Amino acid sequence: MTKKIAFGRKPGSPAAGAANPDEWVANRDVAAMKRLTIDVPADLHARIKSQCALRGVKMADAIRELLEQQFSGNT
């Protein structure tokens, strides 16, 4: 005897037949982003990570803020 279990959709996921994923991507309200990869010394990475954790901020957000300050365009 085999027991069959039906799985529904994930909680919070859109209903079947919802908006086309391509439409969702095209219509979302997000500033265009580009990925930037840099190499930093391990000790600097550890300091950034620990300070961000203490402040409760994401590393990417903190670094993005520093880059905005440095390259604000107000020269």
What pLDDT digit, counting tens, does each position of 37-66 carry? 999 999 999 999 999 999 999 999 999 999
* Residues ≥6 apart with Cβ < 8 Å to 15: 9
Q: Does 70 reside within a domain?
A: yes
Q: Does 56 reside within a domain?
A: yes
Q: Is 22 exposed, middle or buried (0-12, 13-18, 19+ CB in 10 A)?
A: exposed
| Mean pLDDT to the nearest integer, 25-44 | 87
Task: Give the domain range for residue 46.
Answer: 42-75
- Model confidence at 18, pLDDT cuts 50, 70, 90, reads low
Domain count within the chain: 1
Instruction: Read off the pTM.
Output: 0.56
- Model confidence at 12, pLDDT cuts 50, 70, 90, reads low
Q: Does 16 reside within a domain?
A: no
Q: Does 69 reside within a domain?
A: yes
Q: Does 15 reside within a domain?
A: no
CA atoms within 13 A on the CB side of 24: 6
Identity of the amino acid at 27 = N
Q: Does 71 reside within a domain?
A: yes
Position 31 pLDDT exceeds 80: no
Q: Does 7 reside within a domain?
A: no
